[in-house]
Chains A and B, each alone.
Chain A
Amino acid sequence: MPEFIQQANDFVGNLPPIVIVGILAVLLLLIIGLRSILKSPPSRLIAFSSDSGSVLVSRKALQDLIRQTCLKDGWVEAARPIVKIDGEKINTTVTLRLSSPENLKETTKRLQTRISGLLQKSLSFDQIGPIELMVTSFGKQDVDEPVVLDPEPDASADLTTTLSPKKPVSEDPDEIRKTERETKV
């Protein structure tokens, strides 16, 4: 055992001072980083405060709330909200995957209104910041539950096609999708 200590001592003694300083600096930074991660309180927003106590909402709760709201919409396949608490204001960005590119504008507007309304109603937030919705992709329609256009002959005329979450009349969903794209073009 003393030999081992002696060897370690020699090894450290042979190291150039700059390396020792570097190792110590890295260790120090690691400790500071870990401490700040463990010590820093998770970002929370004060919904309201009174004599009987205060109600705080965590960022995760807000994200859960927004995600569930988005997923309630029939056209949303996936939602990934990011809430940033900036002082007493929240900035929300939601990345969405919609089931179909149809009704994009209506869907996003509807979601914006719902999210805003829900935050105001549930939490009495006066300072709700911007709610940005980013549609990044359109999901593949499952064969089990396809989302297809109603076969309306006049739908292409005014370009306001109606979407319906019904099952297709035709048995081949690929064929229906192809027809839809052609109709849209």
Chain B
Amino acid sequence: MEAQESTIETGAHPEGSLGQIKVNHTVVSTIVKMAAINVSGVLAVGGSFVENFIAQISSKESDKGVRVSEDEAGNYQIEIRVLMEYGVELAKTAETLQMIVAKQVTNMTGKPVANVDVIIEGVKMAEEEEPEDNDSEE
């Protein structure tokens, strides 16, 4: 069975005196998710129905909607699927998302991000506040 490298060394000098620090890809995807949902205009992070189903089967709940890999140089390559709010400028929001995710991941892991691919999977209206139900059903 093919063993997939799911961690990446952090820090500019991995040969430090105290040893290496490795960050699991699941951690990175969690960082990506948390950064993404704080971007204005992004409603949710998640893939299509089939992908979410497969993610659930493979017990990779935290990876749902986010794919993290690394290039030959060891930099992160991130793919994120999002649901955006109706009315926002999708292109601008996606660009902001790219920047924020890259910045956040670099800040928290110390490793550079090669690219962030954003896939807009859907557009939805932001949930409106439910009106108070004063009518009694009698």
List chain A positions with a Cβ less than 8 A from chain B.
Answer: 38, 42, 44, 47-48, 51-58, 60-61, 64-65, 68, 121-124
Chain A interface helix/strand/loop/mixed: mixed
Q: Which residues of A contact B125 (CB under 8 A)?
A: 68
How many residues in B have their beta carbons less than 8 Å from beta carbons of A? Answer: 25
Are B86 and A58 in contact (CB-based, < 8 A)?
A: no
Q: In the complex, what's the smallest C-beta–C-beta distance from A16 to chain B, in angstroms?
A: 39
B44 within 8 Å of A (CB atoms)? no
Contact among B50, B78, B98, B102 with A38 in the assembled complex (CB-CB below 8 Å): B50
Q: Which residues of B contact A54 (CB under 8 A)?
A: 115, 117-118
B118 touching A53, Cβ below 8 Å: yes
Q: Would you call B89 an interface residue if the criterion is a C-beta within 8 Å of the partner chain's C-beta atoms? A: yes
- A33 nearest CB across to chain B (Å): 15
CB contacts between A and B, total, < 8 Å: 72
> What CA separation (Å) do A122 and B118 show in the bound complex?
14
Given A58-B121, A123-B91: A42 touches B48 (CB 8 Å cut-off):
yes
* Residue among B94, B99, B123, B125 with most chain A CB within 10 A: B123
- B22 in the interface, Cβ–Cβ < 8 Å? no
**B101-125 interface mask toward A, CB cutoff 8 Å, 1 = contact, 0 = none?**
0100000000000011111111111
Task: Tell me, yes or no, whether B61 is within 8 Å of chain A by CB.
Answer: no
B43 to chain A, nearest CB (A): 11
Docked Cα-Cα span, A33 to B58, in Å, equals 23
Determine the distance from Cα of A61 to Cα of B99 in the docked complex, in whole angstroms. 22
